[in-house]
Structure 1
Amino acid sequence: MPGYSTLLAPPMLEKHVDKRGFMLLTVKNISKTYGIIAVLNDISFVLNRQERIGLVGPNGVGKSTLLHILTGQENADQGSISYAHGVEYGFLAQSTPDFYGRTIDDLLLESVGNLRQLEVRMHQLEQLMAQSGEPKELDQLLEEYNTVSTQFVERGGYELDHHIDRVLAGLRIDYLPRTRPVSTLSGGEKARVGLAALLLRSPDVLLLDEPTNHLDFASIDWLEGYLADYHGALLVVSHDRHFLNKAVNHIFEIDEHQHQLKMYTGNYDAYVEAKKAERIQWEETYERQQEEMQLLRKRIRELRQSASRSSFGPPRDNDKNALYGHTQSKQSSSASRLRGAEQQLKQLEAEALPRPPKILRVNSQFNPEQAIQSEIVIRLSQISKSFGDRTIVRHINAEVNADARILLTGENGTGKTTLFKMIMGLETPDAGEIQFSPSARIGYLPQDPLLDPEKTVIETYRYDQIGYEDELTGRLIGYGLFKLEDMQKKVAQLSLGQKRKLEIARLMARNPNVLLLDEPTNYISLDILEAFEHALLNFPGPVIAITHDRWFMQRVGGITWELKDGQLVTREPPQLVR
């Protein structure tokens, strides 16, 4: 199943130590390129039992590619991957597959199949031990039985039915009939069912790519607690800063310049502080080295000029022999000092730190062409919407002011995106009326990127815009979201995060004065996210954002609307505890 798998270490991967040991996964010198573009460069690390690793880095830097290599979905150009003998890994990708032809129950039964196999093997071993009369054979059977029974206990084999109920309830999908085909679920429901099946399988190594994208507050809190008690190891790509603070104890960063792995101890906050200190030290050391080299170059020039003058200076007296000896001694001393300075400079240049790269400045600024002319920009009057027997919203009344900051929350499936689509005219309410200020120009960012995969980056950006391609290219590069070499890439070549950046760029190009953002922080790397939040803080018009990102909510502020039982309820935003 692409995008969701739990497999034994593939046979082409080198076996390592027994999984009862500490090391579960060893990665040595992995490199990967696409054409002339280096994505991963000499990546090496070890993943130990009960380690919690957060993998971060800019969009397109190779985080998902690394996970695909670890799961055998892609091949590295060089290097090796070795799982401990018998280690099982589980992978959850950003894009959840449709699971065609499968019901929820099918996935759950498949996910716990390894526990059933362990249980069967335990009973077989019990019978064999009862029949065995050979001490050596009995010792071997007992050793295997201890291994199998330990795995069975660690994975919750004796509490399987309770475990299934607990996971489904924790991810807020226990309301779904288990006979329902997975292909009929919403995107968020599919993602949570896939995550539930993966957690129930209880692999030794969990590889998760943006696991919180489709989770509400309660589900994220539950997942953080679940992972804290998990018996195996975790390697997770995430943009959720609060989740990284709670769920991981190390940060691995893929550097966008060298494409190498840098390791930091602690959670996200510790990583940020370490990065700041590292940058300051790098800049200070670089400046000292540059000053020292400049002084040496100046000294070398002076010594060369001095040597040149002394070589051609006129004699000052008639003692030519004494003068010759004095000159020779002086020239020899100058030459020695010159050689010493040159050698010192050569050594400094060989060991010199590279210039610290410029910090990416993302100019994600919204510049509305027209200011809002009304105090009330959007008015919802008695809005109702149902799908079949299910009521999504019921007689909703609400107003959006010109300077509003509204955070729209609620459990998955309550109708938040449907409400947005009604405001945008993409869905028609069954009853009620939506009114807009005549000066309102709405910009909408959907939850998942909706782009033509065959178009290039610049073709996608320039669509429905007026202007020459060079001018539009310069504008897009000016945002700081893409580089010149990205312009002719096809959308299909971009990561989900890069696609998200392209949609943000298109949104800014439309110059809206009202923003409707559906899970705006999904897929965006942490560097871009900070700049995007800053742009929203300075946006002059109203912003309504569907979000479960607690850090984002604290940063943007405003009021919180919770959609619950078809009604909008004003709530206090969740407090961020670090």
Structure 2
Amino acid sequence: MLLTARSLTKAYGASIVLHDVSFVLNASDRIGVVGPNGVGKSTLLRILMGQEEPESGKVSLAPNVEIGYQPQQASDHLQGSGTSIQDLLLQATGNLRQLEKRMHELEMAMAVVDADLIEPLLHEYSHISSRFEDLGGYKIEYRIDQVLSGLHINTLSRERHVETLSGGERARVGLAALLLRSPDVLLLDEPTNHLDFASMEWLEAYLTNYRGALLMVSHDRQFLNRAVNQIFEINEHDRSLHSYTGNYDAYVQAQANARAKWEADYERQQEEILELRKRIKDAERNVGHAHRTAPRDNDKFVRYFLAQGKQNAVSNIVRTAEVQLERIEANLISKPPKLVRVTSQFITDPLRSQEVITLANVSKQFGENKLFQDITHTIQPEARILLTGPNGAGKTTLFKIIMGQEQPDSGQIQLAPGIRLGYLSQEAETLDPDKTVLEAYRHQQVGSEGEFIGRLLGHGLFRLEDIQKKVRSLSHGQKRKLEIACLMAQHPNVLLLDEPTNYISLDVLEAFEEAILQFPGPVIAISHDRWFIQRYGGELWTLDQGQLSINTERGSGYLHATWQDAN
């Protein structure tokens, strides 16, 4: 056992986010943590890391066990002034360097020590060299090259300061440093958010062969299917943890089976309770009927005898039924909670123009970095476009140019009359952290507070107790849900979606995907979510090295075949 969690309970004020959570991590465990947004998945990782204290319960590590953690916003803690990529790599491999130094010291000591004093030195050397080998110390330079290449950051100069990197580059550098540390327990919170397809596939293979334990929060269904052998679900009703063996698909099936059995057992028990109560009631009614129909021949003995016999028989029936009822009610099966149904639906007016967005010779560069040049294309009303390319290729910048938030260096963007652009940003950029959920939702809309509360709750994205919370207090996933609700409230007829599945819990994700598929207007999506892409289909636009290539062949099979080429 590397790590043990015993009866962890965590609350923020009156809100309990984790209740009586217990589990054990062993070296071979590859565990994915799932559950709706806001149920405490990230909180659990921070408690395990020691960054937060539980109200009750305890986390225990085995002796000499090292734990490593990458938060959702992995880039934030890497912005220290003056820190270079090389600095991070040296820090990450510091333990190996120390082990290597101690091995050299022991080798020198054993070369000159007396024979009768060498045994303890040999014992220590054996222990340290085994540890050094287990952590990959004998091939550390190869491992550095392997990890940097696998995460597609090997082209970055190691002398570059971290604060000069993009958010995605910082996240991947942080992940590389963590993997090179090779901690015994690896805690990852949404590790695939800033990875392209090739990097995700490399990480899947790397984690499959990882020697330590892995506990990972992720919304990426394909990644969970390939990288984990166990699922931890945090239940939104009682905030407890339930364990399922196997990958994500196995979890979904097991959960469906368990739910069906629970519902069937509950219905069967309720029917049995009703039958027993009816039996008792009928028996008591029969007693009264027997009194009314007793012989009226003035033979008191006969009347008494018949009444007593009837009462005794009824009494036995009632007593037996009452004992059965008491036994059942002492072990009542709780009623399965109503499943929260997330309903995402866009209501919008159709577009009349056949040329919705026209790009004519659009070019953009920042300094010497030429993002794209001479992009010319017309987007039609039913377009489904997947915009791909390496991180930093200019995909988000192209969106901002279409929206008018940035100007191209040359060329023109023409929007058809009546267009209402709906934009979903990658990092909740559009939300005011000082507003409440309700205030953010009703921003720039006309209507009564009751109307907005009804609409917001009707989507199934928030509960009544959530709508007065400040945006800054929400989890990343809850902010994403609020952005989706705001997007639908705008009634857009054109969608620009920048990594739309990031941070969204799996229950919301499937409903939102369905809404996107049913959307009547054009959709342009930037995404690295392979499951989403397979459902989405559409044209493939690839931005790379300043050029935009367009392939109009539709279908997920084609997209899957081109993932490696596109990235």
Write the mapping of 1:139-218 to structure 2, written as runs, cut at 5 A. Answer: 139-218=119-198
C-alpha displacement at 1:325, in angstroms?
Answer: 4.0
Aligned amino acid, residue 27 of structure 2: R
- Contact 1:171–1:196 under 8 Å retained in 2: yes
Corresponding residue to 2:261 among 281, 288, 294: 281
Aligned amino acid, residue 401 of structure 2: M
Write the mapping of 1:328-339 to structure 2, written as runs, cut at 5 A. Answer: 328-339=308-319
C-alpha displacement at 1:52, in angstroms?
Answer: 0.5
What's 2:12 paired with? Answer: 34
Task: Determine helix, strand or coil for the equivalent of 1:376.
Answer: coil
- Contact 1:551–1:576 under 8 Å retained in 2: no
What's 2:213 paired with? Answer: 233
Q: Cα deviation per residue 1:13-36 (whole Å; 9 max; x = unaligned)?
A: xxxxxxxxxx11111111111122
C-alpha displacement at 1:45, in angstroms?
Answer: 0.8
- Contact 1:99–1:182 under 8 Å retained in 2: yes
Aligned amino acid, residue 411 of structure 2: G
Is 1:573 paired with 2:554? no
Write the mapping of 1:451-470 to structure 2, written as runs, cut at 5 A. Answer: 451-470=431-450
C-alpha displacement at 1:380, in angstroms?
Answer: 1.1
Write the mapping of 1:336-351 to structure 2, written as runs, cut at 5 A. Answer: 336-351=316-331
Q: Cα deviation per residue 1:28-77 (whole Å; 9 max; x = unaligned)?
A: 11111112211111111111102100000000011001001000111111
C-alpha displacement at 1:318, in angstroms?
Answer: 4.7
Task: Determine helix, strand or coil for the equivalent of 2:95.
Answer: helix
Q: Cα deviation per residue 1:454-493 (whole Å; 9 max; x = unaligned)?
A: 2111011111111111111111111110111111111122
Q: Cα deviation per residue 1:232-278 (whole Å; 9 max; x = unaligned)?
A: 11000001111111111111100111111111111111111112212
Task: Determine helix, strand or coil for the equivalent of 1:499.
Answer: helix
- Contact 2:294–2:307 under 8 Å retained in 1: no
Task: Determine helix, strand or coil for the equivalent of 2:560.
Answer: coil
What's 1:20 paired with? Answer: none
Task: Determine helix, strand or coil for the equivalent of 1:422.
Answer: helix
What's 2:504 paired with? Answer: 524
Q: Cα deviation per residue 1:501-558 (whole Å; 9 max; x = unaligned)?
A: 0011111111000000000000000000000000011100000000001100011111
- Contact 1:422–1:429 under 8 Å retained in 2: yes
Write the mapping of 1:309-458 to structure 2, written as runs, cut at 5 A. Answer: 309-310=289-290, 314=294, 316-368=296-348, 370-450=349-429, 451-458=431-438
C-alpha displacement at 1:312, in angstroms?
Answer: 6.6
* CA pair 150-399 structure 1, distance change in 2 beyond 3 A: farther
What's 1:561 paired with? Answer: 541
C-alpha displacement at 1:165, in angstroms?
Answer: 1.2
Q: Output the CA distance in 2 between the equivalents of 1:177 and 1:227.
A: 26
C-alpha displacement at 1:189, in angstroms?
Answer: 0.6
Is 1:296 paired with 2:282? no
C-alpha displacement at 1:337, in angstroms?
Answer: 1.6
What's 1:72 paired with? Answer: 50
Q: Which moved more, 1:327-336 or 1:543-552?
A: 327-336
Task: Determine helix, strand or coil for the equivalent of 1:574.
Answer: helix
Q: Cα deviation per residue 1:359-394 (whole Å; 9 max; x = unaligned)?
A: 2211210111x3211112111111111111110001
* CA pair 315-180 structure 1, distance change in 2 beyond 3 A: same
* CA pair 321-83 structure 1, distance change in 2 beyond 3 A: same
Aligned amino acid, residue 574 of structure 1: H
Q: Output the CA distance in 1 between the equivalents of 2:10 and 2:500.
A: 30
Identity %: 58
Q: Cα deviation per residue 1:312-331 (whole Å; 9 max; x = unaligned)?
A: 76554454345434433432
Structure 2: which 5+ runs fail to align?
Answer: 552-557
Is 1:481 paired with 2:461? yes
Corresponding residue to 1:123 among 69, 85, 104: 104
Q: Which moved more, 1:433-442 or 1:97-106?
A: 97-106
- Contact 2:234–2:240 under 8 Å retained in 1: yes
Q: Which moved more, 1:356-365 or 1:164-173?
A: 356-365
* CA pair 185-209 structure 1, distance change in 2 beyond 3 A: same
Q: Output the CA distance in 2 between the equivalents of 1:258 and 1:531.
A: 23
What's 1:246 paired with? Answer: 226
Task: Determine helix, strand or coil for the equivalent of 1:123.
Answer: helix
Q: Which moved more, 1:28-37 or 1:542-551?
A: 28-37
What's 2:32 paired with? Answer: 54
What's 2:554 paired with? Answer: none
Q: Output the CA distance in 1 between the equivalents of 2:176 and 2:443.
A: 40
Q: Output the CA distance in 1 between the equivalents of 2:177 and 2:483.
A: 32
Q: Output the CA distance in 1 between the equivalents of 2:508 and 2:494.
A: 21
What's 2:87 paired with? Answer: 106
Q: Output the CA distance in 1 between the equivalents of 2:262 and 2:375.
A: 56
Q: Cα deviation per residue 1:144-187 (whole Å; 9 max; x = unaligned)?
A: 33332222112211111111111111111111111111111111
Q: Output the CA distance in 2 between the equivalents of 1:120 and 1:173.
A: 29
- Contact 2:294–2:303 under 8 Å retained in 1: no
Q: Output the CA distance in 2 between the equivalents of 1:347 and 1:399.
A: 72
C-alpha displacement at 1:280, in angstroms?
Answer: 1.6
- Cα RMSD for the two superposed structures: 1.8
- Contact 1:408–1:546 under 8 Å retained in 2: yes
- Contact 1:307–1:335 under 8 Å retained in 2: no
- Contact 1:404–1:542 under 8 Å retained in 2: yes
Structure 1: which 5+ runs fail to align?
Answer: 1-22
- Contact 2:2–2:65 under 8 Å retained in 1: yes
C-alpha displacement at 1:310, in angstroms?
Answer: 4.2
What's 1:19 paired with? Answer: none
Task: Determine helix, strand or coil for the equivalent of 2:356.
Answer: strand
Q: Output the CA distance in 1 between the equivalents of 2:208 and 2:295.
A: 86
What's 2:555 paired with? Answer: none
C-alpha displacement at 1:138, in angstroms?
Answer: 4.9
- Contact 1:554–1:575 under 8 Å retained in 2: no
Corresponding residue to 1:83 among 48, 53, 61: 61
Task: Determine helix, strand or coil for the equivalent of 2:321.
Answer: helix
- Contact 1:441–1:512 under 8 Å retained in 2: yes
* CA pair 89-576 structure 1, distance change in 2 beyond 3 A: farther
Q: Output the CA distance in 1 between the equivalents of 2:121 and 2:275.
A: 74
Q: Output the CA distance in 2 between the equivalents of 1:389 and 1:288.
A: 72
Q: Output the CA distance in 2 between the equivalents of 1:138 and 1:332.
A: 92
* CA pair 336-386 structure 1, distance change in 2 beyond 3 A: same
- Contact 2:294–2:306 under 8 Å retained in 1: no
Q: Output the CA distance in 1 between the equivalents of 2:53 and 2:193.
A: 27
Is 1:504 paired with 2:484? yes
Q: Output the CA distance in 1 between the equivalents of 2:112 and 2:292.
A: 105
* CA pair 484-354 structure 1, distance change in 2 beyond 3 A: same
Aligned amino acid, residue 469 of structure 1: E
